[in-house]
Structure 1
Amino acid sequence: MAELVPAFRSRALAAEQAGRVPVENLVALREAGLYRIVQPAMFGGYEHDFSVLADLVMEAAKGCPSTGWVYGLYAAHQWLVASFPEQAQHDVWGADPGAALCGSYAPAGKAELVENGYKLNGRWRFASGCDGAQWAVCASMLPPGADGKSAGPAFFLVPAIDYMIDGKWATAGLGATGSKALVLEDVFVPRHRMLTFRETTSGQTPGRALHDNPGFGIPMLCQIPSCLAATAVGAAAGALDCYLDSTSNRVTRGAVAGGANRMAEFSTIQLRVAEAAASIDCARDLLIRDLSRRSAAARAGEEITVEDHINSRRGQAFSVSLAIRAVDALNASTGGYGLALINPVQRAWRDANAVGRHISLNWDSVGTMVGQMALGLEPKGQY
């Protein structure tokens, strides 16, 4: 991955302007086999732990956070597909084992129970990477009593031929993710391409027994949000690299106190670098530690408890908070130079803050669950 980062960085501004990840980036990632990191070996994947994937997302995001975001989802969705019934996995990977999947997790639209499956109608927003995907994961509420189960949200696998991409993507952060809307009109989805939230958030999925790897039984929210969080951490790490490159030999200008001196000699600059570096290190270690603990528990056959769920969610959201702290420290001292859209430090600042807006990673929403558990209350939220 490291060898791809300079090219990603060189295309980052054009990617933002285009509102999507460049095709060259996606081709490079696919040809390097990087979508297959957590895909089942049965379909040609490497079955690595999510800690490996999170590290790769951080590396990609150093050059282009939007590319890291889309890459993380494309790769993580290979693991998610392995949770579906076997026939669904063959549907997705039978003709193309490297098929990419976008997704929209908010249970939008309407799912109607019909013979042998469901009919979907509606509009699914924030489908990151939809322009380069061959399939989509669309969430919707199940109709009451469907399949003998109580009503609740579920994921549905839909091929790109069955949906339209609608709208433009022009945002202040993560501007190249192309997170546009998917529109479905009377789309039939066979029953085997449905997976309930209850199944995937508990790890008790139909596809779990198909693959000889306990990692496929780890609850989804202990895994996939970590890839999104890794985008913010990688963005901050890339910002620090660029900040050091531009600041180490930069000399101040103008009629100001300390003019014509090297910026590296200012204690305020030194402190900002130290704060950013420490925040990035802590954020990465926190993400990798939690992912490694969940994988170790799965391999040992241990129960992944509610406390484990909450701690994973805590680590994901707080690592983003630390990444935002890092980019805030750096961006605030770039001066007028930092206002240029080509400056990677301000892009990382915007992108990391955009990651923090995601409902799964927003510290205000996730942090309250942590406090509720610590105080002996029932946690309220997604975990």
Structure 2
Amino acid sequence: MSTTDTFAQPRTEREFADRIGVIAAAARARAEQTERDRRVPDTTVAELRDAGFFKLVQPQAFGGHERDFDELVRHILTLSAACPSTGWTCGLFAAHQWLLAGFDRRAQHDVWDDDPDARMCGSYAPSGVARLDGDGYRISGAWSFASGSDTATWAVCASFLPTPEGVRGAPAFFLVPATDYTLQDDWHVAGLSGTGSKTLVLDDVFVPAHRLLPLSDAMAGTTPGAALNSHNPGFGIPMLCHIPSCLAAVAVGAAAGALDDFQHLAGTRQTRGALAGAGSRIAGFATVQLRVAEAAASVDSAKDLLLRDLRRRVETVRAGHEISVEERILSRRGQAFAVSLAVRAVEAVNGATGGQGLALANPIQRAWRDVSAVSRHISLNWDAVGTMTGQAALGLSPQGQY
């Protein structure tokens, strides 16, 4: 039975959360298969589509719910506690509806008029080669780490704009349909295996100029779409205040799921080794109790940090104020530090699972690998983001992405 048969369209956040909870339970049952297949099952994608998840932050003008990003992140936390690869991939599908809303209105029509349920993967690091061609550009090259590429119908690929003088210009996002690229099946990894983050290969693909978005506009929140959707200042929030929060939520949700699984394990399991005292309840060991407390405090703190910063940014723009560079860096700090807390949490519980925790079917070890993979993402690396934050706090020029 599909979710559309089970639920009416949600009217409140609580109703929507209940709906996502049902889908998350199904995604959890498919998590091991998702990892083996290296992609989120079509069934899960269809269930989330039917639930309206991908339309959560899409403009109402194109059939979206136009909700705030903190609500989206809460649902990503729920999905990621069940299956981190599902939370990562489908969270990006939803977040990219908001990103597309920043493009020229003609680009939005190009995508949503033909397919109101279009899904976009993306590769943000500038790559490939772009050259001028009449009223557009031709781009060629390879774009790595395009999560959800197996089921995406469009892609956002970043490249440097050419100039008439032949000098490399500023970076920009190019919007291309899936029919214009091929996939290089190179996603064989130890963490977030189910995200299908393969490489997109483009060969002399024409992109009309209206399907281009300067990266500087996306970073500052001064996009064409922000002006078009001026009734909702949330569309003018700088990209890096929002998108990395969805990725950080995967690590935090995965850590929360691992903690729940470990608490169930510790509450029922007894030791078998003579050195530890055969027949003793795992929950009775003080070291285990401390690990649970540390993991719980880390997860709670990370959730609060992520959601607080999202709410503060939207409160700023709704009050009619521009989000400052300082606030943008604070969002980046919160995202990366939330991931570091998730790493701390999942390390605490995974280290206490014993030999049984080595099984590939054990969700705790999968969460441990997936959280480690999230922490390696350049936008969430604490060493890089923390250094940038410290530079700003000390009055130096911050070096990094914000």
Q: What band does the TM-score fall into relative to the shorter chain? A: over 0.9
The equivalent residue for 1:230 is: 249
Query: Contact 2:70–2:311 at 8 Å: present in 1 too?
Result: yes
Give 1:144 deviation, angstroms: 2.5
Alignment CA distance shift 1:258-1:293 (3 Å): same
Percent identical across equivalent pairs?
A: 60
Instruction: Provide Cα deviations, 1:166-219, integer angstroms capped at 9, x if missing partner.
Output: 123111100100000000001000000000011110111111121221000000
Determine if the alignment matches structure 1 residue 49 to structure 2 residue 68: yes
Q: Tell whether the 8 Å contact from 1:145 to 1:151 is kept in structure 2 after alignment.
A: no
TM-score relative to the length of structure 2: 0.93
* AA in 2 matched with 1:43: F
Map 1:1-383 onto structure 2 (within 5 A).
1-144=20-163, 151-211=169-229, 212-383=231-402
SS in 2 for 1:350: helix
- On the 8 A contact 1:165/1:182 being kept in 2, the answer is yes
Secondary structure of the corresponding residue to residue 142 of structure 1: strand
Residue 231 (structure 1) shift? 0.3
Q: CA RMSD in A?
A: 1.3
Structure 2 regions of 5+ residues with no counterpart? 1-19
State which drifts further: 177-186 or 206-215: 206-215
Deviations 1:46-102 (A, max 9, x none): 111110111111100011000000011100100000000000000010011111000
In 1: Cα distance, 2:23 partner to 2:106 partner:
35
| TM-score using structure 1 length | 0.98
Instruction: Provide the secondary structure at the position in 2 that maps to 1:260.
Output: coil
Ranges in structure 1 where 5+ consecutive residues have no aligned partner: none
Which residue identity is paired with 2:171?
P
Cα distance, 1:361 vs structure 2: 0.2
The 2-side partners of 1:344 and 1:106 are apart by: 31
Q: Which amino acid aligns with 1:370?
A: T
Larger mean CA deviation between 225-234 and 254-263 belongs to: 254-263
Q: SS of 1:338's equivalent?
A: helix
Aligned to 1:113, the other structure's residue is in SS state strand
Kept in 1: contact 2:160–2:168 (CA 8 A): no
What amino acid is the match of 1:176? G
One-letter code of the match for 1:382? Q
